Amino acid sequence: MCKIAICPGSFDPITNGHLNIIERGLKIFDKLIVAVAVNVTKKPIFEPQERLEMLKEIFKDSKHVEVDSFKGLLVEYAKKRGVKAILRGMRNMSDYEYESQLVLANKTLDPDVEFIYMMTEGKYAHLSSSIIKEVITFGGSGCGMIHPIVEKRLKDKLRAEIKT
Ligand code: ADP
């Protein structure tokens, strides 16, 4: 049986912390569906289509990663894809608090879906999409924190925003 998990997130943008979880997840699962959540409650910097494009470029040679996006409930998306495992990462106690609420809400909606968590690696523990946006905004380097494809896109986006 092929073991598949969905790795959902805003990925606004994807960081090396996310990539590390995906790489390690591939040692456990045969295939991962990295799914951009089109989340209406967060105000994203990148449009879902732009986030998808970055992910597609990053994973273009990864046979075991599929990139997709979904709107609405994660459990509905998982049902539609016929997948019962959700892979997420965890950095600290604030992640724990948020993630435990997420799991309980989703388990209420569909008790068959299982959430699997991977603890971040130390060097990524501080890394978040918001931090990286600040680093790049103030002229810092994204080296070791984001993929070069993401760094270029982020610089272009932030420069365009400064001009407007
Ligand atoms: P969401 O808006 O769904 O929380 P994110 O893109 O912010 O989406 O995060 C997706 C998942 O990746 C979450 O489980 C989050 O805890 C995890 N994550 C984010 N940054 C890191 C990191 N540096 N190391 C490990 N996991 C991370």
* C-beta 133 within 6 A of ligand 1: no
* pLDDT reading at 122 higher than 70: yes
132 located within any domain: no
Handedness of CA 63, 99, 146, 125 (dihedral sign): negative
- Average pLDDT of the segment spanning 73-84: 98
What integer pLDDT is reported at residue 129 of this predicted model? 95
**What gap in Å lies between CA 25 and CA 37, rounded to an integer?**
19
- % of the chain exceeding 70 in pLDDT: 98
135 located within any domain: no
* pLDDT reading at 163 higher than 80: no
For 53-103, the DSSP string reads: HHHHHHTTT-TTEEEEEEES-HHHHHHHHT--EEEEEE-SHHHHHHHHHHH
What integer pLDDT is reported at residue 164 of this predicted model? 62
- Average pLDDT of the segment spanning 137-141: 91
Instruction: Give the count of beta carbons closer than 10 Å to the beta carbon of residue 96.
Output: 12
How many A from CA of 44 to the centre of ligand 1?
14
Pocket test for ligand 1, best of 120, 123, 132 (most atoms within 8 A of CB): 120
Long-range pairs, 92-97, Cβ under 8 A, ≥24: 92/125
36 located within any domain: yes
pLDDT tens column, 59-77: 999 999 999 999 999 999 9
pLDDT tens column, 5-19: 999 999 999 999 999
85 located within any domain: yes
* C-beta 17 within 6 A of ligand 1: yes
Q: Is 139 left (phi over 0), alpha (psi -120 to 50) or beta?
A: left
**What gap in Å lies between CA 133 and CA 149, rounded to an integer?**
14
* pLDDT reading at 43 higher than 80: yes
88 located within any domain: yes
160 located within any domain: no
What's the domain range around 25? 4-125
Bridge-based pairing of strands 4-9 and 114-119 is unpaired
* C-beta 124 within 6 A of ligand 1: yes
**What is the residue-averaged pLDDT of the chain?**
95
What integer pLDDT is reported at residue 162 of this predicted model? 65
Atom of ligand 1 nearest to the CA of 119: 25
Enumerate the active-site residues: 18, 42, 91, 129
Residue scoring higher pLDDT (158 or 112): 112
130 located within any domain: no
- The mean-pLDDT minimum among 29-33, 86-90, 104-108, 154-158 falls in 154-158
- % of the chain exceeding 90 in pLDDT: 90
80 located within any domain: yes
| CATH number of 27's domain | 3.40.50.620
What integer pLDDT is reported at residue 42 of this predicted model? 73
Cα dihedral value 101, 44, 71, 151, nearest 10: -100
- Give the chain's domain count: 1
Contact indicator for 35, 77 with CB cutoff of 8 Å: yes
* C-beta 106 within 6 A of ligand 1: no
* pLDDT reading at 157 higher than 70: yes
25 exposed, middle or buried (CB, 10 Å; 0-12, 13-18, 19+)? buried
